[in-house]
Structure 1
Amino acid sequence: MTTTLITGGNRGIGYEVARRLLHAGQTVWIGSRDSSSGQRAADRLGARFVPLDVTDDASVQHAASILQDEVGHLDILINNAGILGDVSAPEYMTPTQLQSVYETNVFGLVRVTHALLPLLRKGTTPSVINVTSGMGSFGLTQDPDRIESQYTLAAYGSSKSAVSMLTTQYAKTIPEVRFNAVDPGQTATDFTGNVGQTVEEGAEAAVRVATLGLATPTGTLTDRQGPIPW
């Protein structure tokens, strides 16, 4: 049975991805820095819960130890945890504002991936799915026909550009693990102020990649409709 860990899986898109993957027969672990919320979400879904704050080395290492002791391997890691951060115009952005966003969206992703690679290498057709955003796509943010071009989110957008680039770098250098980036699109959750498509639609890209099995590619960037520009 496929064992999957979803960071930030206690609500929003992460929660819906967990629900769908459980329905597909996977064993799903929900990682959340809020233990109460994470445990409640896991209990509602019939998932497993592991305390996991992606910004804290000790928390990430502890989560890895739990998975090692309980399962001994990991088949799929979905790096879903992320924050919007400060939405100041670029001219007013400070390094501190950028740093807080990068700590979760970029450094957290690297911290978790690094810690769990040994377990992934023990998995069956191991796969890492990084949740990025069209706001990190150079192509989409410059296309006047796309909603991404209507927003200016310097901290969040640049952090997601980094996520996409990290995905390609991992894919090129770790061939035994499949690395792909997915864009949920603007989805109506607390994260967006409940603006956008349904959470079911927002979960589709991650669910699709997480259920491809042996057909899982590597080094791709897709949304629910298919490939999108880097």
Structure 2
Amino acid sequence: MAREKWIVGMTGASGVIYGVRLCEELLARGETVHLIITDAGWRVLHDELDWSASPRRRDTLKEHFKDLPGELIYHPIQDIGASVASGTFLTKGMVVIPCSMGTLSGIARGSSDNLLERAADVMMKEGRKLILVPRETPLHAIHLENMLTLARMGIRIIPAMPGFYQKPSSLDEVVDFMVGKVLDSMEIEHDLYIRWGEGNGKQNKENSDRQN
């Protein structure tokens, strides 16, 4: 079977672990990931995950994802001539995770100031799947208006708001819940979390006890 092609963008918002986990899940399934990371995104990778943000960035990515069967293709943020900048390059869609408010604003305005914004613009003009995972709080009116503009165009907005009804016992489980919600919107099957009503009965019993 041919590998599916997905574009993943990571920006300077906190929560870059969400983007890393999504890449891991896609590559573990043998998919092709075209990865774009903003300069601020590399700064967050360094600050939150201790990844090297030196000029040898490809080596950092290659080392982290080396044991996964999929194909990772990294595109520098200023490479506006990259394959993913063209609508003739076919992909299943794009996820920006995490998505900063600056990047979200650029996408909403169609500015295409860098490769990530251009790739997102291509998804919109070609009618392909585009999913944004904003991670910011609190939100002011401009943030909300930009999200509303995109939502009205059919762009899926999935704020990084993990659920806790599954009683996560680790940070990994919290991250997996959010990544699972993204995979749901990508229409990719997964087992990163137990769906409501599909557990061993404990979840439903506790819910019934609360209602009674």
TM bucket normalised to smaller: 0.5 to 0.7
**What does the per-residue CA deviation read over 1:57-105, in whole Å, with 9 as the maximum and x for residues that have no partner?**
xx2xx34534358x9222211122434xxxxxxxxxxxxxxxxxx4333
The AA in structure 2 aligned to 1:170 is M
Q: For the Cα contact (< 8 Å) 2:99–2:134, is it kept in 1? A: no
Q: For the Cα contact (< 8 Å) 1:9–1:18, is it kept in 2? A: no
Cα RMSD of the aligned pairs, angstroms, is 4.0
Q: 1:197 to 1:162 in 2, by over 3 A?
A: farther
Q: 1:197 to 1:207 in 2, by over 3 A?
A: same
Q: 1:211 to 1:33 in 2, by over 3 A?
A: same
Matched residues in 2 for 1:114 and 1:3: separation? Answer: 17
Any idea what SS the aligned residue of 1:128 has?
Answer: strand
Residue 76 of structure 1: aligned partner: 93
Matched residues in 1 for 2:183 and 2:62: separation? Answer: 18
Q: For the Cα contact (< 8 Å) 2:34–2:74, is it kept in 1? A: yes
Residue 126 of structure 1: aligned partner: 128
Matched residues in 2 for 1:182 and 1:73: separation? Answer: 24
Of residues 39, 44, 49, the one that matches 2:64 is: 44
Of residues 2, 26, 30, the one that matches 2:31 is: 26
Residue 105 of structure 2: aligned partner: 106
Q: 1:169 to 1:184 in 2, by over 3 A?
A: same
Any idea what SS the aligned residue of 1:165 has?
Answer: helix
Matched residues in 2 for 1:64 and 1:199: separation? Answer: 33
Matched residues in 2 for 1:211 and 1:4: separation? Answer: 12
Are residues 1:2 and 2:7 paired? no
Any idea what SS the aligned residue of 1:183 has?
Answer: coil
Matched residues in 1 for 2:85 and 2:104: separation? Answer: 24
The AA in structure 2 aligned to 1:132 is P
More helix by proportion, 1 or 2? 1
Give me the TM-score of the superposition, normalised by structure 1. 0.51
Residue 209 of structure 1: aligned partner: 185
How many positions carry a matched residue from both structures? Answer: 155
The AA in structure 1 aligned to 2:76 is P
Of residues 20, 35, 43, the one that matches 1:15 is: 20
